[in-house]
Every structure is written in structure tokens, then in C-alpha cells.
Amino acid sequence: MLGLLVLTPIIVGAIAYLLRGNAAKALLYIFQVAYVGLAFYVFLNVKQNGPIIWNAGGYTDGLALSLYADSISIFMVLMTAVFYIAFLVYATREPYFKHRFYFMFMALQGLMMGLFLSSDLFNIFVFLEVSTVVVSILIMFNKEKQAIYDGMIYFFVNVIGTAFLLFGIGMLYRTFGLLDIRALREAMTGLESPRAVVLPYGMMMVTVSLKTAVTPLFSWLPKAHGTPSAPPVVSAVLSGLYIKSGVYMFIRFNDMFSPVIDMHVFFFWIGFFTSLIGFIMALGQKDIKLILAYHTVSQVGLIMMGINMASEIAFWGAVYHIFNHAIFKSTLFLTAGLIYEEYGTRNVYKIRGLFKRMPWVAVATVFAILGITGAPFFNGSISKYMIAHGTYDYTVTLLLNIINLGTVMSFVKYSTMLFGKNPEEGTAKTDVYALTASVIMGVASFMTGIFGEALTQFFFNYEVHVNVDEYIQKGMVYFLMIIAGVAFYHGIVKHGGLITRIGHLELTFNGIITSMAGYFIVMVVYLSLIL
């Protein structure tokens, strides 16, 4: 059954490639709905009976090539499957939605499922390598010069990055003779000296950190997610779903090494600086897709902080924020595609009157903005509430508030598109399929906030009780942040200057590779000092 979750999207994508036309589209829609049903069935099975393990060929667990579904991995699978329905509906009438795209897009879904379910390190490496090729092709799909350049940068950076993973896996295999994550975790409990796994840990975490796009390894992400000609649905799936595979691997690999290595403090601060730099870079952009891409960096930083706060409520808050971010960031990228198509520009300062010209697109955008900024009753407020309750340290609380303020300031700038004079009379004619998918995703930002407590219980078997007084207090803080964000935008951001210059800083290809090597050295030195 777990094997079907990995293989069937790739097989159906290949069949759709051969069928082409309306028959191929019908096949994709019918399959995706059935696929969600299968994922939900496995999810309920795991929820009721515990983790599911599938060993290839019936070999001994720990030695066989295994697929493993627990509460986190099957949640990631279900989330991906459901969101793919919205993405397929959105792309229905897009000119790029043809036979080649069918196969690549569906293959990416199967590869992501492999990353979420595989328990074998070498299989994970293979899934990463193949998905890198597929993502690169999707980025370059429209064959424009800038897209080809950005796609090649993404490809070479990630191929070099996964080489670190391969070397780390080889060193672990030489030490333990095992490749299964669960078996390696058990074997590490008998390790005499943690220093024996410092190098493989460092190498593997370089790859994971690159895939997660943390500081200083995030420069590839804006190129990949924000490249001008990449289809909006590709940007949405990369920023909403694919980037989460790095976060998921971070959780799995850290758990594997947890008997001998604890790097919570290190990665907490990596998360904070990632989030800080992400929203500062976003403030300096004028391209709406680049604003969203840099905010993916910032939100991933927040997720990393929650995961590494050594608190159960913060951890599950971060996992729930993975889900929430997938909703509102996918919505924002989908609506950004519609806005660009209508206005013919991606310059945030040249797009005005969205409420008058594209009212439903504006509504979906507003819902997503309220979600990402953590407005009361929207999904971001619940996950951020849980992360904030993972500490009683006022310093950490201050850091979280700085990140929230930065997010609010960025989206005050982004929301200026909603108002102002509409340069053309009347409303735009927007494709009904793309509009429907965008609005449904936007409304989900609200619904998953209203039912946030019930959803955390349902998805993770974790009970969270929101204190009404504290929630009201955080709501008041949010509105104060809105006021501060508006003042900051009109006082500083709107007039350019230093923030704009900072926003245009980026690492070259050589700089990205050098930063990987430096990141590895820093991590190994840090581990050598604390062990």
C-alpha cells in the first residue's frame, strides 16, 4: 500500500503523457481524487493502529529497503495529495498544461511521497537526486533565458549539495553497516564516542540545510521559486510543498542522531537568523514573486525555531505551521500568477486597484495575507500561538515578535496592490478554474484557523487549548504591529534606500558553494567543542 503512494503518481503521469488531450486531464483529476482517498485511508490506519512498515521482498526490518509511515510522514503525504487537487484545477486551462507537464508534475508528487515515506538513506538520496532533475526541468519549462539560467543554478547547487549527503551516508554505512534510519538510531545508542559520527552528521545536515534553505544557504531559493517565466503552479508547489521535504528530513535525521548529538540550540539560532534575513530581503524587493520567495525563507526559519525549542507544543506548532504555510503561501503564489497575467507586470509599486479589477483574487489574497501574518481567527495565529507557548524565556518571545513584525511589515507593502486607482475600467475576466482553486485555498486559511484546535488533535493526536484571554492579548499585539507596519512602510520602505540595496544582495554560484563548505566547517567545529 505504501508503495502505491510512491509509484502510482509517476505511472499515471506517464499514462497521461501518452494519452494527451482531455482524456489525460480527466485521468489526472479522477486519479488525484482517488489518490487522496488512499492517502486518507492510510492516514486513518496509522492514526488508529500506529506506524506502518513495508519491507521490500519481505526481508528483515532494518536490513530491507523500507517504507515507513508514522503520524508525521503520513500527514505530509495527505497534505501533499490534497493540495495537488487544487494545483491541477488551477492549471486546467493554462497553456503549459500539456503532456510533458503532466508527467513531470505528477512525477514530482511521487518523488515527494518517496522522500516522506522512505526509511532507507540511500533511497532518500536517490529520490532527492531525481527530484532535483524534475524540479529543474519544471523551472525551465517555458524555455526562457532567465528561467534556464535559474534552473541550471538550482540544478548544480543541489547536485553538489546532495553529494554531501552521499558522503555522510557512506561514512555511516562504514561505521554501522546499516542504512535504515530507525535501525541506525537504535545502533547509535551503543556508540562509545559521539565524535565517531560528527563528520557524517555535518555532511548530512549540510544537504538538509540546503534543501530547507536556511542561512546562509538560501540564495538558490529566490532563483528557483521566483524566476519570471516559471508557471505559477510550479512556484506554488515548490514553495508550498517541496521545500517542506527539507524540513521533514531535518526532523528525521536529527531524531536518528539524537542518542549522541543534540544541536537544538545551534539550529534555533540558525532558524532565527534565517527568518530575520528572509523578511529583510523581502522588504527590499519590488517583484511580487520575489517578495513571496524570500518570505518562504523567513517562514521556514520560524518553523526551524519551533522545531528546535525543545518543547512539545512548539514542535507540534511548527509542524502545524508547515501545513498552514503550505496553504497561504500556495494561495499567494497562485494569485500572484493571475495578477501578473492581468496587469502584465510583477512590480508591486505598479499594481493598484486589485479589489476593483480582480475582486475575488483580492479576497483570496487578503485571506492568505491574514493567514501568514497571524491575524486572529486565521491559521497562522494558531500555529504561532503554539510556537510562542513553547518558551517562558522573554528573550525568545521578543525574537518571535520581531519575526512577526517583519512579516507584517512586508505584507503591508504587498497589500498596497489591493487599493488605489484601477488603471482600467471594469473587472478582469479571470479563468474560472484558476480563480476557484485560488479562492478555495484562501478560504482554507480561515477555516484551518477557526478549527485549529480540532485539526491539531485530528492530525497529530495532540491537544492544544487556546486561552481566550491570551489569544485576545495576542490579537491586540497584532493590530499594534499592523499600525507599526504601515508607519514603517510609509516612513522607510516606500522611499527605498538601504533596505532596497540590501534586497538586491545575493550570492553567486561560487558564493553558494563556498557558503556550503563554510557551513560544514562551522558545524563540525561547533560539534567538536560541545561533545
pLDDT in tens, 89-131: 999 888 888 888 889 999 999 999 999 999 999 999 999 999 9
Q: Which residue has the higher pLDDT, 494 or 480?
A: 480
- On whether both 251 and 331 belong to a single domain, the answer is no
**Residue 271 falls inside a structural domain:** no
Question: What 3 state SS string does 97-136 have?
Answer: CCHHHHHHHHHHHHHHHHHHHECEHHHHHHHHHHHHHHHH
Q: Which residue has the cell 558522503?
A: 167
- On whether both 347 and 479 belong to a single domain, the answer is yes
- Local confidence band at 496 (pLDDT 50, 70, 90 cut-offs): low
- On whether both 336 and 469 belong to a single domain, the answer is yes
**Residue 521 falls inside a structural domain:** yes
**Residue 28 falls inside a structural domain:** yes
- On whether both 166 and 55 belong to a single domain, the answer is no
Residue-level pLDDT at 488: 82
Tell whether the model's pLDDT for residue 368 goes beyond 70: yes
Residue-level pLDDT at 166: 94
- On whether both 80 and 229 belong to a single domain, the answer is no
- Evaluate whether 185 touches 256 at the Cβ level (below 8 Å): yes
**Residue 295 falls inside a structural domain:** no
Cβ-proximal residues to 107 (8 Å cutoff; 6+ apart), any chain: 9, 10, 13, 134
- On whether both 398 and 465 belong to a single domain, the answer is yes
Tell whether the model's pLDDT for residue 12 goes beyond 80: yes
**Residue 131 falls inside a structural domain:** no
Short-list 258, 198, 298, 233, CA closest to 91:
233
Cβ-proximal residues to 95 (8 Å cutoff; 6+ apart), any chain: none
- On whether both 223 and 329 belong to a single domain, the answer is no
Residue-level pLDDT at 370: 94
Work out the end-to-end distance of the chain between its first and last CA atoms, rounded to an integer number of angstroms. 42
- On whether both 59 and 16 belong to a single domain, the answer is yes
Q: What's the CA gap between 441 and 88, in Å, rounded?
A: 13
Residue-level pLDDT at 425: 64
Q: What is the largest CA-CA distance in the chain?
A: 74
Q: Which residue has the cell 504555510?
A: 325
- Evaluate whether 87 touches 237 at the Cβ level (below 8 Å): yes
Could you read off the pLDDT of 132-185 as tens digits, one per residue?
999 999 998 877 888 888 888 889 999 999 999 999 999 999 999 889 999 999
- Evaluate whether 169 touches 180 at the Cβ level (below 8 Å): no
Contacts 24+ apart (CB under 8 A), 399-404: 399/272, 399/305, 400/302, 400/305, 401/477, 402/276, 403/272, 403/275, 403/276, 403/279, 403/298, 403/301, 403/302, 403/305, 404/373, 404/374, 404/478, 404/481
Tell whether the model's pLDDT for residue 77 goes beyond 90: yes
Question: Rounded mean pLDDT of 346-369?
Answer: 91
As given in the structure block, the three cell numbers for residue 295 are: 518570505
- On whether both 86 and 195 belong to a single domain, the answer is no
Query: Where does residue 349 rank: exposed (0-12), middle (13-18), buried (19+ CB within 10 A)?
Result: exposed
Residue-level pLDDT at 421: 76
| Number of domains making up the chain | 3
Could you read off the pLDDT of 455-474 as tens digits, one per residue?
999 999 888 888 888 888 88
Query: CA angle, corner 523, sides to 504 and 117, nearest 5?
Result: 85
Could you read off the pLDDT of 302-318 as tens digits, one per residue?
999 999 998 999 999 99
Report the mean per-residue pLDDT for the chain.
89
| Residues forming a β-bridge with 53 | 68
Collapsing DSSP to helix, strand or coil, 350 comes out as: coil
Tell me if the bond preceding 216 is cis, omega within 30° of 0: yes
Tell whether the model's pLDDT for residue 64 goes beyond 80: no
Q: Which residue has the cell 499515471?
A: 12
Calculate what percentage of the chain has a pLDDT beyond 70: 98
Could you read off the pLDDT of 122-141 as tens digits, one per residue?
999 999 999 999 999 999 88
Output phi, psi for 120, to 5 deg. Answer: -105, 125
Name, of 228-232, 345-349, 503-507, the range with top average pLDDT.
345-349
- On whether both 396 and 445 belong to a single domain, the answer is yes
- Local confidence band at 196 (pLDDT 50, 70, 90 cut-offs): confident
How far, in Å, are 182, 275, 278, 351 from residue 297 at the CA level?
Answer: 30, 6, 5, 24
Residue-level pLDDT at 63: 75
Q: What's the CA gap between 522 and 168, in Å, rounded?
A: 16
- On whether both 457 and 521 belong to a single domain, the answer is no
**Residue 387 falls inside a structural domain:** yes
**Residue 500 falls inside a structural domain:** no
Q: How far is CA 79 from the centre of its chain?
A: 12
Range of the domain at 19: 1-119
**Residue 145 falls inside a structural domain:** yes
- Local confidence band at 292 (pLDDT 50, 70, 90 cut-offs): very high
DSSP state of 59: P
Q: What's the CA gap between 273 and 209, in Å, rounded?
A: 13
Ranges of H-type helices in 344-461 = 354-357, 359-373, 379-388, 394-414, 432-450, 452-460
State the Cα torsion 219-238-289-387 to the nearest 10°: -80
- On whether both 1 and 86 belong to a single domain, the answer is yes
Q: What's the CA gap between 57 and 3, in Å, rounded?
A: 12
